[in-house]
Amino acid sequence: MIEELRYVSFLRTSARPVADELSAPFWDGAATGVLRIQQCAACRSLQHPPERFCRRCFGRDLAFASVNGAGTVYTYTTVRTPTVPGAEPPYTVVVVALDAQPDVLMLTAWEGEAPLWLTVGLHLEVAFDSAVPQFGPTAPVQTGSCS
Amino acid sequence: MTARAMIVGAGVASITRNTRRHTHDIALEACQAAAVDAGIDMEEIDGLATYPGRPVYEPDGATIAAILPLLSGARNVRWYAELSDGLVGSAVIEAVDAVAMGRCRYALVWRALNQPQYGPWNHQDWAGRDQFLGPYGYYRVIHDHAMAFTRYCALSSCSREDTARLAMAQRRNAALNPFAFFRDVELTFEDYIAAPMISDPLCRFDCDIPVQGGWAMVIAAADAPRRSAHPPAYVRAAAQQTSVMIGESLIYTLADHVDVGGAVCNVLYRESGLGPGDIQVAELYDGFSSSVYYWLEAAGFCGRGEGPAHVARMIEKYPDLLPINTHGGSLSEGRSHGMGHVVEAARQVFGTAESARQVAGVEAAIAFTGAPTYHSAGLILSRSPGR
């Protein structure tokens, strides 16, 4: 799967995520190539980042579910100014809405400017480049014709 | 509802960049100008309010502890409020409520900013909510605004020509404002298009200009004696929102940027009994140009996604003075976090904006501090106290 995702180069930074009690299952999952998102036992709602309570029903019984890593581009920006250590601009940060529950938003970051084919609504798949989940296209993207 | 508070004086300190001027001196200059404009002696000032934070609180934030000793004659203060969060709009509303409740009669409200130099963040370990942002190189306020605006442009027909037109119109307004940092600097279409992107689709001229600046007002109980040479601006409505809190979601969505502004505006219109058709001047917080469209839509001046077309129509109708951000906005006057917008709305209602900048026949003005999503607050000011 990772081989198929070489249409973009994922950004690598020196910014290390510090896992905590709430987020450890998320990062443990990512380290083994599984996308795990916090889920409310009562209303089944997914949420990210993880919280102590369900943001939908305020339930306190929360666990992590392995979810389908498919999503669509919600929006994106190309960053042109140095922001975090080890991240050389320009790079493009994309917000991905998960198909499993489209109000769950996650980030991915690609080296360089936004590709011409990058549009809101484009289909992406999760990939595990290092221990940080990323998203990219699974096939060459058809760019618009002149007709 | 009949107004229980009125703005009776407003002042602006000289707005500069890269000087060694202390924030306290800037705040003092603005306060003195506001008191003179109100015709109020410092002895009569019995309330103080400010928001001293952001960008940099220490070491020279214009706190009450720092400014009160400089306000010579202000020995009769019996009420004060210094906010630790909420931007300046909340401090203004605190003062409005305090005079309405009789806690004081003449409240002096100020906002002074220094000019921070932000570099990249250097820490390697990113904890809390930041653990989901830092590894993706995502951490600046502009990134949130750029993300929302990319989606806005994709869902509307907004183009760089539209944002260029808005930035140029605000710059033309700034040329009529003797305090505006960019009063003497023309902005052409070519300048805008050639400007470097900071976080696409926002370029340099879509960002407010960080300045050393100060703004102040005297807010009085509606039945307090008036001594100003101009009419007052009655506070017909004031509102703030907390419907979206930082940390609730990973990033602000476009809905977070637009819908929550509607909640503020609903309160403003309900409380004032006025509607968008009753308002002649709109001073809309513009830390980034995109927020102008969001506020126009939230306040019902146009429909959702119609902000750029509305601005284009207004520029065509009012080529010499766009009645939006008449002072140039933070894009061209300088970053005030919205205090410049409230001061300008008051001056438009007073009728004391310098002649070419004065909109004719102003009955009511609306002003917002903060982007819709970001601790925002709004006010409707009017010539009439209402019934």
Quick one: pLDDT band at residue B61, thresholds 50, 70, 90?
confident
Question: Quick one: pLDDT at residue B242?
Answer: 65
End-to-end CA distance of chain B: give it in Å, rounded: 6
> Strand A36-40 relative to strand A62-66: parallel, antiparallel, unpaired?
antiparallel
Question: Quick one: pLDDT at residue B63?
Answer: 92
- Tens of pLDDT along B307-354? 999 999 999 999 999 999 999 999 999 999 999 999 999 999 999 999
d(CA A126, CA B67): 54
Task: For chain B, say whether A48 makes contact (Cβ under 8 Å).
Answer: yes
- Are A77 and B132 a contacting pair at CB < 8 A? no
**Would the ipTM clear 0.90, i.e. be above it?**
yes
d(CA B274, CA B364): 9
Q: Phi, psi at residue B190, to the nearest 5°? A: -65, -40
- Which amino acid appears at position B364 of this protein? A
d(CA A2, CA A128): 7
Task: For chain B, say whether A100 makes contact (Cβ under 8 Å).
Answer: no
Q: What is the mean pLDDT of chain B?
A: 93
Quick one: pLDDT band at residue A138, thresholds 50, 70, 90?
confident
As a whole number, mean pLDDT of residues B78-102 equals 93
Question: Quick one: pLDDT at residue B144?
Answer: 93
- Are A84 and B134 a contacting pair at CB < 8 A? yes
Q: Which residues on neighbouring strands pair with residue B234, listed in sequence order? A: B6, B382
CA separation, residue B149 to residues B39, B187, B249, B314 (Å):
44, 22, 18, 21
Task: For chain B, say whether A116 makes contact (Cβ under 8 Å).
Answer: no
For chain A, the residue count is 147
Task: For chain A, say whether B147 makes contact (Cβ under 8 Å).
Answer: yes
Considering only alpha carbons, which residue of chain A is nearest residue B133?
A: A107
Class of residue B365 by CB neighbours under 10 A (exposed 0-12, middle 13-18, buried 19+) = buried
> Strand A91-98 relative to strand A105-111: parallel, antiparallel, unpaired?
antiparallel
Evaluate if residue B77 carries a pLDDT over 50: yes
CA separation, residue B331 to residues B158, B169, B183, B323, B368 (Å):
19, 11, 11, 15, 15
- Tens of pLDDT along A98-117? 999 999 999 999 999 999 99
**Which carries the bigger pLDDT value, residue B246 or residue A25?**
A25
Considering only alpha carbons, which residue of chain B is nearest residue A97?
A: B253
Evaluate if residue A79 carries a pLDDT over 80: yes
- Are B200 and A91 a contacting pair at CB < 8 A? no
Evaluate if residue A143 carries a pLDDT over 60: no
Sheet containing strand A36-40, edge to edge, reads A46-47, A36-40, A62-66
- A-chain residues near B126 (CB < 8 A): 15-18, 84
- Tens of pLDDT along B352-367? 999 899 999 999 999 9
Q: Give pTM, 2 decimals.
A: 0.95
Evaluate if residue A23 carries a pLDDT over 50: yes
Task: For chain B, say whether A93 makes contact (Cβ under 8 Å).
Answer: yes
Question: Quick one: pLDDT at residue A146?
Answer: 45
As a whole number, mean pLDDT of residues B198-206 equals 98
Task: For chain B, say whether A146 makes contact (Cβ under 8 Å).
Answer: no
Find which of A79, A113, A120 to mutate to test the B interface (most B CBs within 10 Å of its CB).
A79
Pick A15's closest partner by Cβ from B134, B154, B254: B134
Quick one: pLDDT band at residue B244, thresholds 50, 70, 90?
low
Pick B137's closest partner by Cβ from A23, A79, A119: A79
CB B291 within 8 A of CB B258: no
Evaluate if residue B245 carries a pLDDT over 80: no
CB B11 within 8 A of CB B34: yes
Task: List the alpha helices (DSSP H) in chain B.
Answer: 23-38, 64-67, 87-101, 141-155, 160-174, 189-194, 254-272, 290-298, 307-317, 329-332, 339-350
- Tens of pLDDT along B249-307? 788 888 888 888 998 999 999 999 999 999 999 999 999 999 999 999 999 999 999 99
